[in-house]
Amino acid sequence: MRLSRRQFVTAAAFGAALGIDKRLAFVPPAQAQKTPDPTKGFYTYKVGSIEVTALYDGIWEKPHDPAFIKNASVEETKEALVKAGLTRDFMPIPLTVVVVKAGDRLMMIDSGSGGQWQPSAGKLAANMQAAGIDPAKIGTILISHFHPDHIFGLMQKGSNAPTFPNAELIVNATEFKWWTEPGRVEKLPEARKPLGTRINAVFPSWKNFKLIEKEAEVAPGVRLVNAPGHTPGHAAFHVSSGTQQLMISNDTAYVPALLAPHPEWQGAYDQDGPLAVESRRKLIDRVIADKMMICGAHFPFPGAGAFAKDGSGYAFTPVQA
Ligand SMILES: [Zn+2]
């Protein structure tokens, strides 16, 4: 396989971060991302002694929309997709959830869509079963933010009954308080009102939420990282074990085909665009400086990869399942 200069740079950086794990293979984006739906919906890799399992929930083949990126045209976004080896026919937004196993402790990051987001998603439960993970054994769920594709899996369709009643739900206090403060729903834009209504009807009565005030350690080796902008309390989670580190970036870098080369692009999904850009650059710069691997909820499955600096932006190299 021939790698371009930029792929070689990222592959080398990633190799340095992950030198000992031979199960990860680098592929040029053109080959890695051509077929978005994976044949196997789970994938396991190691961060030191911690085991990470990526579980595929599905993909939203979003029709192009001029409002999707505030400061780029549809043509520019199509061009970025093609450069990453993706189709230009639609905006591919895959969704992957990770389960982290540290010792005998099982933690999940976000909950997927619960089949209540896009009809093409909702595969998480089946893929969890295929991976041999018992949902009843998940003791902790770390929640990045309160968007449907990340929290609807916590609530059953129709009844809103908790899917994981015994799990501790850890969330940034800023996020929880922003969504549930009195008068919030009325202030939300129309399109977000149903989400706000559901959150306020369900979450305040749940007893298993644990609100985190600072960038605290939330489990041994796992620390909350503030990455606001996408939502007011959007959080990433930093995992370290031995000499290896993983940044669970959630929606900070959203679809890297767009935001690696153009970190300055502001998505319609970013509530505070300029702050989202600032958080994105800060997080990716840290990941590069500390030679970490990174995963993201909307990265191409299995949702992990490496970043390298590339001019004023970044180059992203995904790992192949
Ligand atoms: Zn998302």
pLDDT at 36: 57
Largest CA distance in the chain: 57
Q: How far is the CA of 178 from the centre of ligand 1 (A)?
A: 18
pLDDT at 23: 41
Q: How far is the CA of 232 from the centre of ligand 1 (A)?
A: 14
- The structural domains of the chain, with segments of one domain joined by +, span 5-320
| Backbone torsions φ then ψ of 4, nearest 5 degrees | -70, 170
319 vs 79, higher pLDDT: 79
Q: How far is the CA of 151 from the centre of ligand 1 (A)?
A: 10
Radius of gyration of the chain (CA): 18
Q: How far is the CA of 200 from the centre of ligand 1 (A)?
A: 20
Q: How far is the CA of 296 from the centre of ligand 1 (A)?
A: 9
Q: How far is the CA of 2 from the centre of ligand 1 (A)?
A: 33
What is the separation, in whole angstroms, between the first and last Cα of the chain? 17
Q: How far is the CA of 253 from the centre of ligand 1 (A)?
A: 10
Instruction: Give 83-139 pLDDT, tens digit per residue.
Output: 999 999 999 999 999 999 999 999 999 999 999 998 889 999 999 999 999 999 999
Q: How far is the CA of 112 from the centre of ligand 1 (A)?
A: 9
Locus of tokens 């929880």: 176
Query: Do you find a cis peptide bond into 135, omega within 30 degrees of 0?
Result: no
In this structure, whether the domain defined by 5-320 belongs to CATH 3.60.15.10 is answered with yes
pLDDT at 34: 47
- The DSSP symbol for 110 reads S
Mean pLDDT throughout 206-223? 95
Q: Are 86 and 93 in contact (CB under 8 A)?
A: no
Mean pLDDT throughout 179-208? 97
Q: What is the full DSSP assignment across 259-319?
A: HTT-TT--BTT-SSHHHHHHHHHHHHHHHHHTT-EEE-TTSSTT-EEEEEEETTEEEEEEE
Mean pLDDT throughout 238-267? 97
What is the Cα–Cα distance from 212 to 154, expressed in whole angstroms? 19
Q: How far is the CA of 150 from the centre of ligand 1 (A)?
A: 6
pLDDT of 2 over the 50 cut: no
pLDDT at 14: 53
Q: How far is the CA of 208 from the centre of ligand 1 (A)?
A: 23
Q: How far is the CA of 116 from the centre of ligand 1 (A)?
A: 13
Structure tokens belonging to residue 247: 């940044």
Q: How far is the CA of 149 from the centre of ligand 1 (A)?
A: 5
pTM for the structure as a whole: 0.90
Q: How far is the CA of 68 from the centre of ligand 1 (A)?
A: 14
Calculate the average pLDDT of the chain. Answer: 90
Q: How far is the CA of 14 from the centre of ligand 1 (A)?
A: 24
Q: How far is the CA of 9 from the centre of ligand 1 (A)?
A: 28
Percent of the chain with pLDDT over 70: 89
Instruction: Give 11-53 pLDDT, tens digit per residue.
Output: 444 544 544 343 444 544 444 444 457 889 999 999 999 999 9
pLDDT at 9: 45
Q: How far is the CA of 286 from the centre of ligand 1 (A)?
A: 21
pLDDT of 316 over the 70 cut: yes
